[in-house]
């Protein structure tokens, strides 16, 4: 990374903080705050997912497993031990995620390509089924309601800033990973895993690492979301949640670090405009996905960058 792009990132970060930091002051209702919260949390989830897919080339269709795990850890602990346990519960979800993602990761990274995708999907659906069926423990289809964060976090604005801080730190961390030597190895794994081995780097170990990292932030997203919506549902484990985060990444651009964040923003705005979960929501996202794959495989951010580069090149030629 050279000097000028480093400066650009700092400007971007400042802009990001300015926009999201000012939401509590310019909002017209608590609804706007919730919407901004959704954008932050899904944005982080999508960026973390893209570390797996866009960077390393591992298309997981089962990140809902960790999203749900984070949410249900918070929900179940708060339901049984009171809202004072909100933060410890969030931590518990993250610890559980590390353990489970190592175990599941060891299995799923044995296979690559389509097999990897299907396996992650199967594990996600397995978790969904257990949550759905184990009525006495998880509340089954009823989900869990009334999950309130405690103390200062009870205030919506405070909770919003809490989320903002965690999301910024998480994205900063992921950015550092993406631009570290390990990030380079991950990119090489996507392009040519055999060559990575020739260079004396461990493919499997790096894949497992990024799987655990990505899952960790998926769980963080789930746990934070439980505090925003105050209620959770087994659907958080369902394959459609995994599909949604994939769509966000593809829409924004899987080749761009911040692309998935933009994708998440666009999807949440569309969801808000057409009414969240309309009857034909899957038709809408299906068509968006089809357009992106066939016409704009680089995603919104990637295509815009391409256009800008072309425009700049044109100017140079004319000048």
Instruction: Return residues touching another protein (CB under 8 A).
Output: 53, 57, 59, 61, 107, 110-115, 117-119, 121-123, 125-126, 129-130, 133, 189, 193, 203, 207, 239, 243, 246, 250, 279-280, 282-283, 285-287, 289-290, 292-294, 297
Question: What are the C-alpha distances in Å from 263 to residues 38, 131, 143, 203?
Answer: 13, 29, 28, 29
User: Given the complex with another protein, which of 47 and 59 has the nearer CB atom?
Assistant: 59
Find the shortest distance in angstroms from Cβ 246 to another protein: 7
- C-alpha 119/C-alpha 281 separation (Å) is 26
CB of 92 to another protein, least distance (A): 24
Please say which residue, 16 or 53, places its beta carbon nearer to another protein: 53
Can you read off the two tokens belonging to residue 259?
A: 């692309």
Which residue in 249, 191, 189 sits closest to 218, CA to CA? 249
Cβ 284 to another protein, closest distance in Å?
A: 9
226 or 244: whose CB is closer to another protein?
A: 244
Select 158 or 188, whichever has its Cβ closest to another protein.
188
Q: How far is the CB of 281 from another protein (least distance, A)?
A: 8
Comparing CB distances to another protein, the nearer of 115 and 137 is: 115
In the complex, what is the shortest distance from the CB of residue 220 to another protein, in angstroms, rounded to a whole number? Answer: 25
The residue (of 269 and 283) whose beta carbon lies closer to another protein is: 283
CB of 282 to another protein, least distance (A): 4
SS (H, E, C) the chain: CCHHHHHHHHHHHHHHHHHHHCHHHHCCCHHHHHHHHHHHHHHHHHHHHHHHHHHCCCCCCCCHHHHHHHHHHHHHHHHHHCHHHHHHHHHHHHHHHHHHHHHHHHHHCCCCHHHHHHHHHHHHHHHHHHHHHCHHHHCHHHCECCCCCCHHHHCHHHHHHHHHHHHHHHHHHHHHHHCCHHHHHHHHHHHCHHHHHHCCCCHHHHHHHHHHHHHHHHHHHHHHHHHHHCCECHHHHCHHHHHHHHHHHHHHCCCCCCHHHHHHHHHHHHHHHHCCCCCCHHHHHHHHHHHHHHHCCCHHHHHHHHHHHHHHHHHHHHC
Q: Whose Cβ is closer to another protein: residue 66's or residue 239's?
A: 239
In angstroms, what is the minimal distance from the CB of 118 to another protein? Answer: 5
Smallest distance from another protein to CB 194, Å: 8
> 257 and 178 in contact (C-beta within 8 Å)?
yes
User: Given the complex with another protein, which of 286 and 314 has the nearer CB atom?
Assistant: 286
């Amino acid at each position: 990374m050279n000097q000028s792009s480093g400066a650009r990132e700092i400007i971007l970060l400042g802009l990001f903080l300015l926009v999201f930091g000012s939401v509590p002051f310019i909002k017209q209702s608590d609804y706007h705050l919730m919407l901004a919260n959704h954008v932050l949390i899904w944005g982080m989830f999508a960026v973390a997912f893209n570390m797996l897919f866009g960077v390393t080339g591992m298309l997981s269709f089962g990140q809902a497993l960790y999203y749900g795990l984070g949410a249900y850890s918070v929900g179940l602990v708060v339901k049984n031990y009171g809202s004072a346990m909100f933060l410890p519960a969030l931590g518990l979800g993250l610890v559980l995620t590390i353990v489970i993602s190592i175990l599941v990761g060891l299995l799923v990274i044995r296979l690559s390509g389509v097999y990897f995708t299907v396996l992650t999907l199967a594990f996600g659906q397995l978790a969904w089924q257990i949550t759905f069926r184990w009525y006495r423990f998880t509340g089954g289809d009823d989900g869990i309601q009334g999950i309130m964060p405690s103390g200062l976090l009870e205030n919506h604005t405070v909770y919003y800033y809490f989320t903002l801080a965690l999301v910024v730190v998480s994205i900063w961390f992921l950015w550092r990973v993406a631009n570290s030597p390990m990030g380079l190895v991950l990119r090489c794994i996507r392009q040519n895993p055999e060559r990575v081995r020739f260079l004396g780097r461990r493919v499997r170990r790096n894949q497992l690492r990024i799987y655990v990292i990505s899952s960790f932030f998926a769980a963080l997203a789930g746990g934070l979301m439980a505090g925003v919506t105050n209620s959770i549902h087994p659907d958080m484990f369902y394959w459609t949640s995994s599909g949604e985060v994939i769509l966000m990444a593809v829409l924004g651009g899987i080749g761009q670090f911040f692309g998935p964040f933009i994708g998440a923003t666009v999807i949440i705005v569309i969801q808000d405009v057409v009414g969240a979960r309309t009857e034909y929501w899957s038709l809408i996202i299906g068509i968006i996905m089809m357009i992106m794959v066939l016409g704009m495989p680089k995603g919104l951010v990637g295509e815009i960058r391409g256009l800008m580069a072309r425009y700049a090149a044109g100017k140079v030629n004319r000048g």
